[in-house]
Amino acid sequence: MTTVITGGAGFIGINLAHRLLSRGRRVVVFDNLSRAGVERNVEWLRATHGDRAGIRAGDTRDRAALRDALSGAAHVFHFAAQVAVTTSLADPVRDFETNGRGTLNLLEELRAMNPRPTLVFTSTNKVYGHLEDLELRREGTRYEPADGIARTLGIGEGRPLRFCSPYGCSKGAADQYVLDYARTFGLPAAVFRMSCIYGPHQYGNEDQGWVAHFLISALEGRPITIYGDGYQVRDILYIDDLLDAFELAVGRMDKIAGTAFNIGGGPSNTVSLIELLDMIGRMRGERPQVRFESWRAADQRYYVSDTRRFQAASGWAPRVGVREGVARLYQWLAESRGIAVETARATP
């Protein structure tokens, strides 16, 4: 039984491939290898698992290559995507071709298969738009919703969809296509609307993977640019907890197919940009240099996932807290760069 991971050379895909291969599963990593840093991930996976790590260079916009990679698949995880709002603003057509058309190509290939593999698709919290109607107030180093229910529980799946930015539109369209193919054609597929995921093998930048980006910048002595005021809040989820959720989703696909779930650290794992800078300062002994720029298009000032729907369906809950997870990633990033870090100091 083979698991195919599109975009599998990226941060999330390489961690999932490693877990499955470590358990003796057969894995095909399907990736166009265009994102910076993925070549290091592929080298590491091959060095760790040898020939058992099946690497296929290809693009979801190429139906023939996709069909070949899917041969014999029992499970599929669809991570291949254009991942940055800023890139989508610069080139909306490429953004749609990758996120929209690429996903539709995959769905059509899966629909033609017998038996049909399970599919988990990673969508985004950007499908809910700016959340401009969510009244916020500033408390200390962060924004918090004025509404007590939103503050306690986070943003639920019942919130109306409001695609914003070409990226939000393309991922939102893909999100809806996956759900419709599950309902209309009986495809065993579910959608994860993701908040901020972080962990080893992440090579973050200003546009995506901000937790890793902050830590990398600090380790390399580079200033960090914050767009906005730094009080914006996200719930962050450590990669191991996400992998647990993936495995639970596949095991319960007969019950959850056709459902979208908000997945993130939830209200107990939130951090503002300024708070993360303070954590890094405690780990490093000095706070990173920071410069501020104007707010960027489609930025949400507050987003925290209400994860109760998936918890009720699977029993899942995050186990790695913010401080522990950030310390783990800091340690990994330092070691991968040959930088000695005192273990005691690595705990924020």
Q: Quick check: is 23 in a domain?
A: no
CA distance 196 to 236: 5
The predicted pLDDT at position 205 comes to 80
- The total of structural domains in the chain comes to 1
Question: Residue 347: which pLDDT band, with cuts at 50, 70 and 90?
Answer: low
Q: Above 80 in pLDDT, residue 343?
A: no
| Mean pLDDT, rounded, for 27-33 | 97
Domain assignment of residue 291, given as a range? 81-336
The average confidence (pLDDT) of the chain is 95
Q: Quick check: is 205 in a domain?
A: yes
**Structure tokens belonging to residue 198:** 């972080």
| Mean pLDDT, rounded, for 33-40 | 89
Q: Above 50 in pLDDT, residue 72?
A: yes
CATH of residue 202's domain is: 3.40.50.720
Closest to 22 measured CA to CA, from 55, 38, 45: 45
The predicted pLDDT at position 348 comes to 63
Which residue in the list 128, 143, 167, 238 is annotated as catalytic?
Answer: 167
Q: Quick check: is 31 in a domain?
A: no
Closest to 67 measured CA to CA, from 117, 24, 23: 117
pTM: 0.95
User: Is residue 167 annotated as part of the catalytic site, yes or no?
Assistant: yes
User: Which region, left, alpha or beta, applies to residue 3 given φ > 0 means left and ψ of -120 to 50 means alpha?
Assistant: beta
